[in-house]
């Protein structure tokens, strides 16, 4: 008796989703470790220095949870690139749709 798993492409899609889910979980674990261990040390040494609300680590966590590891990771990297002394500041929420990032990135 032959086991039918559907179209062969569906197996690759399932594998890709599983890999993305595992990568997302690893990224979220790294962010959680950073927030629990490294962030309190940085605050103790230099004081609170976040330019944006929510903080970059919270933004990365929300972006990965809402948009996945690839799109959310890119959004988090773009947010970190904007975090410098001459950059913008203020409230900068994670967009609900990925296309909104390009439209709202200049407005804060």
pLDDT for 8 beyond 70: no
Give the pair of three-digit tokens for residue 100: 């909104």
Q: Does residue 3 form part of some domain?
A: no
Q: 2-16, 19-33, 73-87 — which is least confidently predicted?
A: 2-16
Q: Which structural domain range is residue 86 located in?
A: 8-104
Give the tens place of pLDDT for each residue, 16-30: 889 999 999 999 999
Q: Does residue 93 form part of some domain?
A: yes
Contact 52, 89 (CB under 8 A): yes
Q: Does residue 40 form part of some domain?
A: yes
Give the pair of three-digit tokens for residue 61: 């966590």
Element (DSSP H or E) covering residue 90: strand 90-91
Q: Cβ atoms within 10 A of the Cβ of 33, count?
A: 11
Q: What is the pLDDT of residue 63?
A: 95
Mean pLDDT calculated for residue range 73-100: 83
Domains: count for the chain: 1
What's the whole-model pTM score? Answer: 0.75
Q: Does residue 31 form part of some domain?
A: yes
């Amino acid at each position: 008796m032959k086991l039918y798993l559907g179209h062969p492409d569906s197996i690759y899609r399932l594998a890709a989703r599983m890999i993305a889910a595992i990568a997302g979980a690893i990224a979220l674990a790294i962010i959680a470790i950073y927030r629990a261990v490294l962030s309190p040390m940085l605050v103790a040494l230099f004081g609170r220095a976040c330019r944006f609300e929510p903080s970059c680590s919270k933004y990365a966590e929300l972006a990965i949870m809402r948009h996945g590891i690839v799109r959310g990771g890119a959004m988090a990297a773009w947010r970190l690139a904007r975090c410098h002394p001459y950059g913008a500041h203020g409230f900068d929420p994670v967009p609900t749709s990925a296309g909104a990032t390009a439209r709202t990135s200049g407005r804060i």
